[in-house]
Structure 1
Amino acid sequence: MLSTVQRSTPTTPSVNDLQYPRDRFMRLPEVISICGLSRSTIYDLICREQFPSQISLGGKNVAWLASEIDGWMQARIAQRAGGAA
């Protein structure tokens, strides 16, 4: 007795099936380069809770999450577009 094997054709993944890259750590020089802010301004904004806080990587090493920095930048752009001061 022969069994029939059904083969399905590969389908293109939908937008919901796509996997996005994982979040990553950014060190201070990269944050400075991307945001255009100085080191002292970044830490001043962190103290005023107006910039994402750094994450301790152990010892004296810290980094920022790329998604949080991107979110901060998008909020600033939206603020400008909305006319808010």
Structure 2
Amino acid sequence: MENLNTNSQTNIANLSTLYLPRMLPLKEVTYHTGLSSTTIYDMLDKRSKRYDPTFPIQVKLSKGRVAWVEGEIAEWLNDKIAARAH
């Protein structure tokens, strides 16, 4: 019985360290933010008038494929919502 408890605790510890972030493709980012893909890429471009250093940077997953971390997009949106009250 002791081994079972030890193994269970080890498995739980391993699961807590194996966090897989959900990645959002551009189509989902545009859906959730209400922004166009052009606006999103302008917000990431330091030379653009629409540049927003607070907008999450995409992650390159492979050649020609990028995505955004869902939690970072959610946090950015929540910050925008919170800012409207001030």
TM-score range, shorter chain: 0.5 to 0.7
Paired residues in the alignment total 63
Aligned-residue identity in percent:
40
Map of 2:69 onto structure 1: 65
**Which residue among 26, 29, 36 is the counterpart of 2:27?**
29
Q: Determine which structure has more spread, i.e. the larger CA radius of gyration.
A: 1
Q: Where has structure 1 moved over 4 Å in runs of 4 or more?
A: none
TM-score (norm: length of structure 2)? 0.67
1:75 aligns with 2:79: yes
1:38 aligns with 2:36: yes
Where in structure 2 are there 5+ consecutive unaligned residues?
Answer: 1-15, 46-50
SS at match of 1:40: helix
1:22 Cα deviation after fit: 4.2
RMSD: 1.5
What is the distance in 2 between the residues matched to 1:22 and 1:76?
A: 25
1:44 Cα deviation after fit: 1.1
Where in structure 1 are there 5+ consecutive unaligned residues?
Answer: 1-18
